[in-house]
Structure 1
Amino acid sequence: MMNLKFYYLLGAVISLAAPSFAQSYKLLSPDKKTVVEVNNKTGLQYTVTSNGLTIIYPSSLGFELKDEPAMGADMKVTNHVEHSVNQTWIPVVKAKHGTVVDHYNELELSLVEKSGQMRRMNVYFRVYDNGVAFRYQLFGADKIGDRQIVRELTGFNLPAKAKAWVADYGSYTSSQETEFRPRTLNHITTKTIAGLPFLVELDGSHYAAITEANIDNYPGFYIGTLKTDTNATDKVELVSKLSPLPGEAEDGVKARFTNNQFTPWRVVMLGDAPGKLIESELIQNLNLPCALKDVSWIKPGMSAWDNWWSGDVKVDMPTIKKYIDLASAQHWPYMLIDWQWYGQFNKPEADITKVAPQLNMPGILAYAKAKNVRCWLWLYSSDVNRNDNFEKAFPIYEQWGIAGIKIDFMDRDDQQMVNWYRRIIKTAAKYHLMVDFHGAFKPDGIIRTYPNMITREGVLGEEYSKFSTRITAGHNTTLPFTRMLAGQMDYTPGGFLNVKKEEFRQGSPTQVMNSRCAELAKFVIYESPFTVYCDAPGHILGKPGADFLSNMPTVWDDTKVLGGYPGEYIIMAKRSGKYWYVGAMTNDAERTVQLKLDFLPSGKYTLSSWADVLSSPQSLTKFNRGVSASSVINIHLDTAGGWVAKIIAND
């Protein structure tokens, strides 16, 4: 299961340049193509180069703390350790790959201030073939009490004319649901609060994405700048903006700690094409191994959903049974029971241990069991948190036989909320409950450590088609290269009242502005081990494409991005057991995409494909053909269109 190679290197690259005593360290990736250099010549700084191109120019490291001088400007290295790790591990939840390679070189620097309070700090750098990560370790103060972080000084100094895809949330309290819009970095301002991942195109063969991993007892971070005029220079130093604690202003306290505080990993994913970043397992690699002894109960899968989106707003037995029947007919393992199953929510009197009077929970669960379906429950976060209600409710849900919980409307990622997430995840695991967070912050790879945290929202998803025109084909083809780089994305696909953009109308029943095949492709392309189908049973059962979604897998043994560019198109292939699935989507431009099947092992295969019918978005054609690894197929995509296929080897 694990092949671990671990050894200490005796020769860190260091130069001591008298009389300034500047110290410089270089750390190379295993393939020696990416280099991180750390020095303290003019304050603590780092630089990243890859394939000979400077990705991040000298950028600052350090902190500002309340009632303390800034930390990082005048420090010396007292010890350094460099080592290499090359291991493989098997995820409990195989979101992208059945086996993950974790291969990196690491440099640990122990630092102390040259004068004054002589405060200590450690910095850890890891360099992979496909990215760079670093984090800090802070220590307690001499005086008794908390230390308080006001600002993290981590910078990312990049070319001002580089193109980025920016999700400006405008606030630190949000559901992190907005578009990633392309713009050059010199348009980032002091007011920008850009969410992560933050994709940057340096040139046609160098892409970087800034994000974070393993957030624990620390706030989430955003991207902005401190300079008011970024047009005057050829570089922009992006800065880390930490989510303030509740009640604190933007320049107030972000985190409190007493001793031995590790920050999350600051991550720079690297690739020669934007699709390479999608294939990366860097975020999970930067998290700890699975902390759960028994994981047999964690089972990914598709789910039906009796929801407001599809127009079925009744919370009654017939409606719930109708969606259980949908899951059963499509051979999906789950059905999600939505809001008001426990009556009025977000009220002081709300009781998440009691079922609304019109419902019979034992009857629902018995009906579901007879149909080979298990149920999930939706919960409002305030009702979960009030008086620690979850401590009472979760063991009851386990007794009922509930598979998981979907908790909604947190809309924060400050230090307190980050810690609340972890408490919920751990308590849920104790009672064998999987977790889906909505109104949530981005993933950070915790699914490796606690695989019951199986998916989360934090994305401008299909629900917005109900009340806006924001779910465009351009947005849908941007998400895989931006938000999805962080991990699981509960977009809730499956809207099958497909119309052309000019025919779209908001309201009920809910329409979507793409073809039926584009909607099918989302189930292949979008990463979510617990994938929730959003539409009504009558819009899929017995309709074109239902056969493709029958028994649809949600976890994968292999993932390959075969082409694409943010906001234009994407084509991906994923393997589940003996089957390969292929999905393609385009923006509002009609296009032909060439599919090379050279990812297949040698042999003969049968490919079943579902394709657009031009100018008829609710229609599709199905075709079967023999193929091999040498086959090349030209796929024609309608405007806002798609294409899917299922490939199996001939016995």
Structure 2
Amino acid sequence: MAVPIRTAVAALCAGLAATLFITVPARADQDAGSHVQVWAVSGPERAAAAHEPRARVSLDDTTGTLSLSVSHGGRTVIEPSPVGIVTQQADLSQDLRFLHRKDRLVDERYRSKSGKRLERRVLMNETRLSFATAAGARLDLVVRASADGIAYRYVLPAGYGGVLGEASAFNLPPDASAWLSTYRADNEGQFAQHTAATAPTGEYSDQALFATGGGYTLLAESDLTGTYSGARLAHDQGTGTYRIKLADPTVHTDGPLATPWRAMVTGDLATVTRSTFTDDLAPASKVADTSWIRPGTVLWTWLAGGKEAGQSLAAQKAYVDYAAERHWPYEAVDAGWYFKTDEWDTTDPNWQTNSWMPELVEYARAKGVGIIVWIHQRDLDTPEERAQWLPTLERWGVKGVKIDFMDSEAQSMLQWYDTILQETAAHHLMVNFHGSTVPKGIQRTWPQVMTLEGVAGEEKRTNTAAHLTTLPFTRNIIGSMDFTPGAFQRVGLRPNSDAAEVGLTVAYESGLQMFAGTPESYDARPLARDYFDQVPAAWDDTRLLAGRPGREAVLARRSGDRWFLGGVYAGTAHTAEVPLTIGSGRWLVETIRDGAEGLVQDRQVLRGGDSLSVDVVDNGGFAGIACPWRPGVTTCSR
């Protein structure tokens, strides 16, 4: 049957419109007098385009090499940097020719169980640039741009064999200030300040912060799974170049491959600190029912009593009693509570344990306290061990596991992560990873992951005040961080004051905020203890009130109508002036600071936008709560 002309024309127009929406002309913009094709990618917020990051991808027609640069507000953030990947069957870092471009809008909403805020909005422009070599090998470069970052990844069809390495690198202005952590497999290096060029030759963790283009840029990674290998930054002193180096000499693939995102969180310091960019890039949650996942504060007993406490039911019951008295929702039992032996009867429900854990869990449950248990990764590294441990812990009623000593970002260990994430979700066990990788989007995809270590935390005896004031702008930006604050008993082993230690519980975000002190140390500091009674572990919003990496970090986090304040400082005693940018109206502000005889509480009524003045001691800090003020309101406590 003949098709009417008007119908055919309408169909043709619709088809052309759809094509124009997803495909741009095959030829990109070309710099005058050069052999370079250029594609620009910016975020979808057109009204604020001048203030958003913008990526520029270039192809040199002479060499067939790709580069990517990033600007923000018209100023260079990342200088043109090499892009490409090399596999066993094809070198996709050179001799490339452009095929086509497709664009799409990424517009998503999701709810997190923990982090800087619970409600999230993802709004990004995505551009997919397709290239091929003369031999027909294909490479897609996928670039995403949002209001707070630029990211790219490689997508390859099947048949190219293992990945031998990436050409990916980041070229920073040589004089850019840099806050870097020397790479360790457990990600527990100290952050120290350099310039991009003067940093010593070596390898650094990929969460590296640079002051560039009038703002800041944090390098990061997202959507890292066992299909690939973890990345670190390799640097040669004297240059501003930081190259991607993979943990494995060969990444094994058995089909099409999408590499992790190479992310650049960029903007002013407040934007970077508040960003959830690495979570936003990650796949959606794979856990359908998340009602059992409940963030909270935890009485953690390792630094309070060590292994001996872990071996004692009486000691653990006493800790449960204290947590119940304080209405802290969890108590964590660390190493020493179980042992392995081939003589155990694995049909016994108490196998692999010194038998008192089920009794402790029931004792705690009756008092409204959940139990979290430590377990070594080597005891979960086979299917048989996992099939014995995880159902048993679920049957006992254990709420979560603290899994320790992975100490690797090699592909084989990442494949183990993939498995344990599926199985802990199936057995309704929240997870705290120690001796681990860092979040890299894992908390969006697997929301039972409440926190990860991957930080030189409270256990370290070499931390500096500068390190503590850098963490909110580096490691903690990309996800929950189990620093374990509150270890008041470690006087002389930590570089900060008591008030700063209280402030860390807000300055540092963690879905399970583990308090590392002793009950005696809390009772000796009732202001700190009462503050811990109120501090949440999940937040409705987060704002940076004041900050300079390595010098000061003051964060405000909202729960309901109350803002909790945490400030940490490095340097000499002074009066800190903090803009109270938490909203209009009048606020009753209660602060805890260091006094001559211990902690002191102050109360004052301020308007939103006023300056909050707090006396800070050497390497000190403060904690606080701000609640809406009205006549008759005299305290923020509930």
TM-score normalised per structure 2: 0.88
Q: Is the CA contact (8 Å cut-off) linking 1:440 and 1:456 kept in structure 2?
A: yes
Cα contact 2:489–2:518 (8 A) shared by 1: no
For 1:48, the aligned partner's letter is V
CA contact (8 A) 1:312 1:319 kept: no
The 5-angstrom pairing of residues 425-504 of structure 1 reads 425-464=421-460, 468=461, 470-497=462-489, 499=491, 504=492
1:317–1:359 Cα contact (<8 Å) kept:
no
Partner of 1:291: 286
Query: Is residue 154 of structure 2 the alignment partner of residue 136 of structure 1?
Result: yes
What CA distance in whole angstroms lies between the structure 1 residues aligned with 2:192 and 2:463? 13
Counterparts of 1:207 and 1:188 in 2: how far apart (Å)?
17
- In structure 1, the partner of 2:229 is 219
Q: 1:82 to 1:121 in 2, by over 3 A?
A: same
Please tell me whether the aligned partners of residues 35 and 50 of structure 1 are also in contact (alpha carbons under 8 angstroms): yes
Tell whether the 8 Å contact from 1:46 to 1:58 is kept in structure 2 after alignment.
yes
- CA offset at residue 387 of structure 1? 5.2
Whether 2:207 is the aligned partner of 1:242: answer no
| Alpha-carbon contact 2:295-2:537 (below 8 Å) kept | yes
Query: Structure 1 counterpart of 2:476, which letter?
Result: M
Match of 1:576 among 559, 578, 587: 559
**2:197 is aligned with 1:195:** no
Question: Could you say which residue in structure 2 is the equivalent of 1:152?
Answer: 166
Question: 2-side partners of 1:390 and 1:358: how far apart?
Answer: 19
In the TM superposition, what whole-angstrom CA distance separates every residue of 1:211-268 from its partner, at most 9, and x where no partner exists? 101102111111113x6xx53xxx5332101002xxxxxxx32x11022111010001
Contact residue 96 and residue 132 of structure 2 kept, 8 A:
yes
Give the 3-state SS of the residue equivalent to 1:417 in structure 2: helix
Distance 1:399 1:10 in 2: 54
- Determine if the alignment matches structure 1 residue 75 to structure 2 residue 96: yes
Aligned partner of 2:612 among 633, 637, 645 = 633
Which of 20, 32, 38 aligns to 2:49? It is 32
SS of alignment partner, residue 380 of structure 2: helix
For 2:554, the aligned partner's letter is I
Q: Find the counterpart in structure 1 of residue 175 from structure 2.
A: 161
Amino acid at match of 2:83: L
Asked if the contact 2:582–2:609 (Cα under 8 Å) also holds between the matched residues in 1, the reply is no
Q: How has the CA–CA distance of structure 1 residues 282 and 348 changed in structure 2, closer, same or farther, with 3 Å as cutoff? A: farther
**Which of 553, 556, 560 pairs up with 2:536?**
553
Counterpart Cα distance in 1 of 2:130 and 2:316: 58
Residue number in structure 2 paired with 1:4: none
Larger CA deviation: 360-369 vs 522-531: 360-369
* Structure 2 alignment gaps of length 5 or more: 1-19, 631-638
The answer to whether the Cα contact below 8 Å between 1:283 and 1:444 also exists between their aligned partners in 2 is yes
* Pairing 1:92-107 to 2, within 5 Å after superposition: 93-107=113-127
The yes-or-no answer on 1:521 pairing with 2:503 is yes
Q: Residues 349 and 408 of structure 1: is their aligned pair in 2 closer, same or farther, counting only changes over 3 Å?
A: farther
Letter in 1 for 2:619: A
Cross-structure match for 2:6: none
Deviation at 1:584, TM superposition (A): 0.8
| Local SS of the residue matching 1:35 | strand
- Flag the 1:310–1:480 CA change in 2: closer, same or farther, 3 A: farther
Compared CA separation, residues 155 and 348, structure 1 to 2 (3 A): farther
* Residue 598 (1) aligns with residue 581 (2): yes
Q: Distance in 1 between matches of 2:433 and 2:75?
A: 39
CA 1:351–1:121 in 2, change beyond 3 Å: closer, same or farther?
A: farther
CA deviations over 1:547-589 (Å, ceiling 9, x no partner): 1110320111010001111111111111011211111111132
Aligned counterpart, 2:14:
none
Q: Indicate conservation of the 8 Å contact 1:324/1:373, yes or no.
A: yes
Distance 1:312 1:260, change over 3 A: closer
Deviations 1:464-485 (A, max 9, x none): 1xxx3x1222221111111112
Q: Distance in 2 between matches of 1:567 and 1:351?
A: 54
What's 1:507 paired with? none
Q: Within the alignment, does 1:304 sit opposite 2:299 as a pair?
A: yes
Query: Aligned partner of 1:107: which letter?
Result: T
Number of residues of Structure 1 aligned to a counterpart in Structure 2: 597
Q: Deviations over 1:170-201 (max 9, x none)?
A: x5xx2111111111222356x51100211011
CA distance in 2, matches of 1:8, 1:179: 47
C-alpha displacement of 1:513: 3.0
SS in 2 for 1:423: helix
Question: What letter corresponds to residue 577 of structure 1 in structure 2?
Answer: G
Q: What SS class does the counterpart of residue 513 from structure 1 fall into?
A: coil
Three-state SS of the structure 1 residue aligned to 2:129 is: strand
Displacement of 1:650 in angstroms is 3.9
Q: Does 1:88 align with 2:88?
A: no
Provide, for residues 418-477 of structure 1, a one-character-per-residue CA deviation record: whole Å limited to 9, x for no partner.
Answer: 12112101100001111110000111111111100111101000011xxx3x12222211
Deviations 1:74-121 (A, max 9, x none): 112222111223443322x131113222122111112111x23x1111
1:645 maps to what in 2? 624
**Corresponding position: 1:185 with 2:196:** yes
- Contact 1:310 1:534 survives alignment (8 Å): no
The structure-2 alpha-carbon separation of the partners of 1:60 and 1:360, relative to structure 1 and needing over 3 Å to count, comes to same
Structure 1 alignment gaps of length 5 or more:
1-6, 245-251, 505-510
Q: 1:376 aligns with which of 372, 376, 387?
A: 372
- 1:581-637 CA-partner distances (Å, limit 9, x unpaired): 1111111322222123232243x43222211115x5xx1111233333254321111
Q: Map residues 415-430 of structure 1 onto 2, 5 A cutoff.
A: 415-430=411-426
SS of the residue 1:540 aligns to: helix
- Please state how far the C-alpha of 1:16 moved relative to its aligned partner: 5.8
Alignment of 1:346-361 (within 5 A): 354=350, 359-361=355-357
Of the structure 1 ranges 301-310 and 38-47, higher mean CA displacement relative to structure 2 is found in 301-310
| Aligned equivalents of 2:422, 2:274: Cα separation in 1 | 28
Q: Is the 8 A contact 1:179 1:475 kept in 2?
A: yes
> Structure 1 residue 137: deviation in Å?
0.7
Q: Aligned partners of 1:165 and 1:356: how far apart in 2?
A: 44
**CA deviation profile, 1:18-77 (whole Å, cap 9, x unmatched):** 9997532111223323321112214111121111111222211112223x4522211122
Answer whether contact 1:14 1:26 (CA < 8 A) is retained: no
Match of 2:87 in 1: 65
Task: For residue 363 of structure 1, report the CA deviation from its aligned partner.
Answer: 1.9
Mapped contact 2:374–2:404 kept (Cα < 8 A): yes
Residue identity matched to 1:53:
R
Within 1, Cα distance between the matches of 2:31 and 2:579?
54
> Could you tell me whether the CA contact under 8 Å between 1:332 and 1:552 is conserved in 2?
no
Residue 359 of structure 1, CA deviation: 4.5
The offset of 1:130, in angstroms, is 1.4
Q: Deviations along 1:260-292, whole A, 9 cap, x unmatched?
A: 11101000110223x431100101100112221
